[in-house]
A and B are shown apart, each in its own frame.
Chain A
Amino acid sequence: MKLRPRVALTTAVLMLPLAAIFGWVDAQVRERAASDVLVADAMTSLEGDARARCEASPDEWVRAMQGPGRSPPRDPGMFPPPGPPGDPQDRLGPPPRPRPPPPGDAPNAAPHVHLYPLDADLHPSASMIPPLDPALVAAARAGANEVRRRSPGPGRPNEEALLRTPWGTGPCAYVFAVRPAAPTTEDPQLVLRVWGAMLVALVAALLLALGPIIGRIRGLAARVRASARHQYRDRIEMSGDDEIEELAAAFDGAAREVRTHVDAQERREQTLRDFLANTTHDVMTPLTVLQGHLAGLRDGARFDPARVDAAIDEASYIASLVNNLAVAARLEAGEPHLVRMPVDVGRIVERCVSRHRPIARQRGVEIACAVPENVVRVEGDETFLEQAIGNVVFNAVQHNHAGGHVAIVVSELSGGARFRVRVVDDGQRLTDDEIAQLGAPKEDAARTRRRDGHGLGLGITRRVVDLHRMTLVFARSELGGLQVDIEGERSSSETRGEGA
């Protein structure tokens, strides 16, 4: 259901019971007011010499109370025939002083109150008295000084009250006060029409007020749809300073979030595509070389150890390349997710040496490492850190010569607050420019990698070191080749063997 009919229906459904409740409350208030006026009028009539006149001649007093031209309550069956003719004012003294009409009621709609005396046992003292409701009598006998009721009448009901007089004895100990029903001026249909008109006016006003709101909501829906068509690249904005504008801002925030996820997903997919393409290209080439060596071994007339070494070299390179490509894929896919945990740097270095020792031995390169007695722990991603240090070790072995050396030393610095992993070799000597280039970050590691270079591997090392807030420094080694220092903050200290 659209917003307009929904609001109209809701308003109508809510207003009908509300109107009924208001009408009922209004009627109750009116009835209470009429009853209060009846009692007040009756009590006023009992002031002055009313007692003496009533006790002297109850019938006369009754007639005097009805006054000239006053009509009895409009239920003839309830009253005896009228009393003797004559002007009761001549016989009973002056009539009661005029009373003001009840507030809010027209004088002709509020006839005078009729009073009928009863004795202390609630027996009528006058000959002319309408029948009393037994409930009123019972309540008065129970001790109530004032009992009220409404009796049915034509148009408007009669107001009745049984009141104990201020003196409370004699033939006029009680009075039965009745305000005869007056012709009502209220037309029920008119009341319904007024309420109906108010309801219609209210609904119409609501629908009119809803117009601009619905227009703004439709505008917002159109903007959201347009933004969705352009993969949420368009801003969702609405003018104004209301809830619709807040809703638009919320949609805009959600759209930006969706856009961020979509971008990240696209980057991941692109990274995966690049990874597959690079892996296919870079692995296939050394694999082809490896196949060539194996074919040569199969077809060769004699066993050639150099060819076996070359094949092993290719296999080692392929393994290193695939590992680096996998790490690069994780590093290049947006913000890399580091699995941080306390990592033993000494264990990492020992594993790196263990991994590269077979290929170093084959190349005639001696490789060794030293770690301090105290365990050097850092908070970091063990896989990334191992790959980063391993790449430096791999390069030191690869860019070396038979009879060369590679040494890795883990040291505690600054009294144990920091650590350093130093990889030194006595292999290929580099110029100052070449060393400076090693320290410079590459824009695209994948494109700068080359078979004989440090592109991909050192690019990964540089990125991992940055992610762990460590430093990477290249220098010429005093021992002949390259010296690479990785330094960082240590997270805890303990003796090796106790917690390692």
Chain B
Amino acid sequence: MGQRILLIEDDAALGQQIVGHLRGAGFETTWLTDGKRVHDGEGFEVDLLILDLMLPGVSGFDVLKRFRDASDVPVLILSARNDGETRVRGLKLGADDFLTKPFWPEELLERVRARLRRPELQRGDAIESGALRIDLRTREVSVSDASVALTATEYAILAAIARRRGAPVARQALVELLDSDKEGADRTLDVHVSRLRKKLGEAGAQIVTVWGIGYRLGVSE
């Protein structure tokens, strides 16, 4: 069963579109056209609330306040108003993110997934990406259960990009992990990554070069 999302949007056409996109992406979606039920104490058993601020009857801010009193799940605000006061008021009432209209469906889904994702950092845990396994506690790296011997620099680079799996890590941040001087380190970073890829074998393909930024482990977010 997909994660449950409650959508409160009064516009029929937009609401229908959003529900279609969310269900298409595998989310179990409930759609309300006003905030009365939430304000009356229903609809809290969800994983995410998508809330339009401009609602008939009960205002979106009142709904947010009532919802936040009863639930800690993430709240994504939809608003045509893109001013600081509205955003600050929403954040103060407990909103987690703002999406300003108009938006593309892909943008909405990306924001929803980002809000439902587990915390990015996995310190103290083992990170697995395909056949690759990195134990951050014991500093052991294995591919398909076969241990891989890495130098301290290679491990540091791998651990840095593994901790933010799927997200690019800037070259500058990786260069700072190296011992050599900055000029030399910038040049030798690519050498270290090249060796690392070779040592990881097929799993080495998971270390992706990201144009203009640096490296990423695994598929893009």
Which of B84, B111, B168, B216 has most chain A Cβ within 10 Å? B84
Decide if B103 touches A384 in the complex (CB within 8 Å): no
Interface majority SS on B: helix, strand, loop or mixed? mixed
A382 to B119, CA, bound (A): 23
Provided the pairs A357-B106, A357-B110, A496-B121 are in contact, do residues A369 and B213 lie with their beta carbons within 8 angstroms?
yes
Q: Which 4 A-B pairs have the closest CB atoms?
A: A407-B212, A339-B84, A358-B104, A405-B211
Write the nearest CB–CB distance from B176 to chain A, whole angstroms.
Answer: 10
- Nearest to A359 among chain B residues (CB) is B104
Q: Determine the chain A residues whose CB is within 8 A of the CB of B172 once the complex forms.
A: 409, 411
The reply on B83 being an interface residue by CB < 8 A is yes
Number of interface residues of A (CB under 8 A): 42
- Nearest to A413 among chain B residues (CB) is B172
Q: Determine the chain B residues whose CB is within 8 A of the CB of A411 once the complex forms.
A: 170, 172-173
- Nearest to B111 among chain A residues (CB) is A354
Number of interface residues of B (CB under 8 A): 36
Task: List residues of chain A with CB under 8 Å of any chain B CB.
Answer: 315, 319, 323, 326-327, 330, 337-339, 341, 350-351, 354-355, 357-359, 361, 366, 368-373, 381-384, 387, 405-407, 409, 411, 424-426, 479, 495-497
Decide if A383 touches B167 in the complex (CB within 8 Å): no
Question: Which of B88, B111, B173, B213 lies in contact with A339, CB distance below 8 A?
Answer: B88
Question: Which of A355, A381, A405 lies in contact with B103, CB distance below 8 A?
Answer: A355
Write the nearest CB–CB distance from A97 to chain B, whole angstroms.
Answer: 103
Decide if B88 touches A341 in the complex (CB within 8 Å): yes
Decide if B110 touches A354 in the complex (CB within 8 Å): yes
Question: Which of B82, B97, B170 lies in contact with A323, CB distance below 8 A?
Answer: B82
Q: Determine the chain A residues whose CB is within 8 A of the CB of B107 once the complex forms.
A: 354-355, 357-358
Question: Which of B84, B104, B111, B210 lies in contact with A370, CB distance below 8 A?
Answer: B210
Q: Determine the chain B residues whose CB is within 8 A of the CB of A315 once the complex forms.
A: 102
Question: Which of B84, B168, B213 lies in contact with A338, CB distance below 8 A?
Answer: B84
Write the nearest CB–CB distance from B20 to chain A, whole angstroms.
Answer: 16
Q: Determine the chain B residues whose CB is within 8 A of the CB of A358 once the complex forms.
A: 104-107
Task: List residues of chain B with CB under 8 Å of any chain A CB.
Answer: 82-85, 87-88, 91, 97, 100, 102-107, 110-111, 114, 119-121, 163-164, 167-170, 172-173, 210-214, 216, 220
Decide if B83 touches A383 in the complex (CB within 8 Å): yes
Question: Which of A383, A384, A409, A496 lies in contact with B170, CB distance below 8 A?
Answer: A409
Provided the pairs A405-B212, A496-B121 are in contact, do residues A319 and B102 lie with their beta carbons within 8 angstroms?
yes
Which of A372, A409, A411 has most chain B Cβ within 10 Å? A409
- Nearest to A409 among chain B residues (CB) is B170
Question: Which of B102, B103, B120, B220 lies in contact with A368, CB distance below 8 A?
Answer: B220
A107 to B91, CA, bound (A): 100
Q: Determine the chain B residues whose CB is within 8 A of the CB of A383 once the complex forms.
A: 82-84, 87
Provided the pairs A358-B104, A358-B107, A372-B170 are in contact, do residues A382 and B211 lie with their beta carbons within 8 angstroms?
no
Enumerate 17 A-B pairs (CB-CB under 8 Å) in ascending A order: A337-B84, A355-B103, A355-B107, A358-B105, A358-B107, A368-B210, A370-B168, A372-B173, A373-B121, A382-B84, A384-B84, A407-B213, A409-B170, A411-B173, A425-B212, A426-B212, A497-B120
- Nearest to B210 among chain A residues (CB) is A368
Decide if B84 touches A479 in the complex (CB within 8 Å): no
Write the nearest CB–CB distance from A351 to chain B, whole angstroms.
Answer: 8
Provided the pairs A338-B84, A354-B110 are in contact, do residues A369 and B211 lie with their beta carbons within 8 angstroms?
no
